[in-house]
Structure 1
């Protein structure tokens, strides 16, 4: 007998999730505000609809646990919960019209170089919309918030992980080396090569998606052994480079172009990271979110011009 999807109710799935979390019918009942017998009845009903056991009941004081079938169904239940959360967010957005809150995800370099100009223009055009900012250096975490309906848009770096995302490219953000003015790197005025970096102590970003780690983006895993310091704070990275602790290998957007005591040199033969903005492709997109995305694209064009003037590319 297969699953009868028309007979499954949300309360059955909620009960299954609670039992899975607590490994106990009684504690699940306490969380949900039900009696223990009510939770047992809901699980039993769900098992009849599925046609196989979902919970192992060893009896006595030993904890219960989900069967393999229960784990499979729970994963689908969590996906259903996420979609319902997104639906609630969509309904709130639709009711809010041109007012309410726009929830934006961001990481540091974009937050310093692009976001302020976007917000200046956005506030002038959408004064009734409050922007709520969520910051995290791991854009994978930010994308999870988009998928759960907890963010409307987020800045990201391509490639994206699998998921229900739509994306707009903003700009190519080349990798550079920031060093003291007296460093031998790039003194001839040209870009440095990976070979030039081979003997240098390096400074770079701390933990992020593996695909974005500097040693992976530069295509040379051996660089990992040369990294003497990692930080999520661009100011810390640049400060260490200015003191000669090492050469900072970062992206252009992570550099403060007005900071004294540093020289910025392009890296030859390395593809730039692509900065983009993403949203949930299956959700209703707020008009304010679409306007924010368009403004981000316009500001990115200005940043490209500054980059060309500074790096000569």
Structure 2
């Protein structure tokens, strides 16, 4: 037989019962629940209607719990604990752990941005365990939608109703050349003068690869591509070793090899920029861990990434 419980019995009212039983009076129960004494009194009276029995007797202005009230309170503790455990287990099954946060990131952000954010997040929420997952923009976006990661630091994705993105900073794209290259001494480089040069690039799916393609669309020629790699640090080493030229975001300038020069592009390529953002699923925008992460990211960006 299916068990049916009257609509008068709710978790909130059971919480009011426990607060009253443990505090001993309406005023203190209301303070615990951050509500009014009238609301607590109504909740207790509603529980009497829902159980169809007297839970309290009046002695002057005081409410005295009956044996029935104590029985219901014991049951309420078990029910509320079971529900809290059930919600926690549900979140764990969905990959949302209250004390764990899995953050995705582009390789290029691990030089400065990610360490600062992780340190500040640890200071704000010391009980939170963070895990870092690295990948391309395309990989990170897929993992985010699948729930494999909780949030990601990457170039702003295309508009998507499922994704919330908080812009953090904009990054300029530079022409990268060996330090002893003739291009290294130029004030700015127009890619149109590089038609016969060899180039190396990141694989498809990386934000920098997308900018690379767009820049050569503006230059109106297909570059002579000699190699593609899967991370930006290998790409910089290839440039330094003289394998080919490439385009790199300014954020890696401080960690690039000494034999790699970063040269600005001419004004024709001013629109080839990257906006780095914190992205997460919109349905989780009230998650306390993500709210803390967003606050830390905003603070770090105000101080300079």
TM-score, structure 2 as length reference:
0.61
Q: 1:136, 1:142 within 8 Å by CA — same for their partners in 2?
A: yes
Hey, what's the Cα distance between the residues in 2 that align with 1:255 and 1:101? 32
**Partner residue of 1:89?**
91
CA distance in 2, matches of 1:209, 1:261: 24
1:302 Cα shift? 4.5
Q: Could you tell me which of 189, 196, 201 is aligned with 1:199?
A: 196
Give the alignment of 1:122-271 within 5 angstroms.
122-137=121-136, 139-160=137-158, 162-188=160-186, 190-208=187-205, 212-220=209-217, 224-257=222-255, 259-268=257-266, 269-270=268-269, 271=271
Q: Deviations over 1:200-235 (max 9, x none)?
A: 211221121699534433152865442212112222
- Mapping of residues 14-25 of structure 1, within 5 Å: none
Cα distance, 1:162 vs structure 2:
3.1
State the match for 1:119 in structure 2: 118
Distance 1:215 1:209, change over 3 A: same
Distance in 2 of aligned mates of 1:109 and 1:102? 20
Q: Give the aligned length.
A: 213
Distance between the aligned counterparts of 1:245 and 1:178, measured in 2?
Answer: 12
Q: Which of 1 and 2 has greater Rg?
A: 2
| 2:282 alignment partner in structure 1 | 281
Distance 1:153 1:160, change over 3 A: same
Q: If the length of structure 1 is used for normalisation, what is the TM-score? A: 0.60
Task: Specify the SS of the correspondent of 2:201.
Answer: strand
Deviations 1:9-43 (A, max 9, x none): xxxxxxxxxxxxxxxxxxxxxxxxxxxxxxxxxxx
SS of the residue aligned with 1:160? Answer: coil
Please tell me whether the aligned partners of residues 171 and 275 of structure 2 are also in contact (alpha carbons under 8 angstroms): yes
Ranges in structure 1 where 5+ consecutive residues have no aligned partner? 1-86, 305-313
- What is the Cα-based RMSD across aligned positions, in Å? 2.9
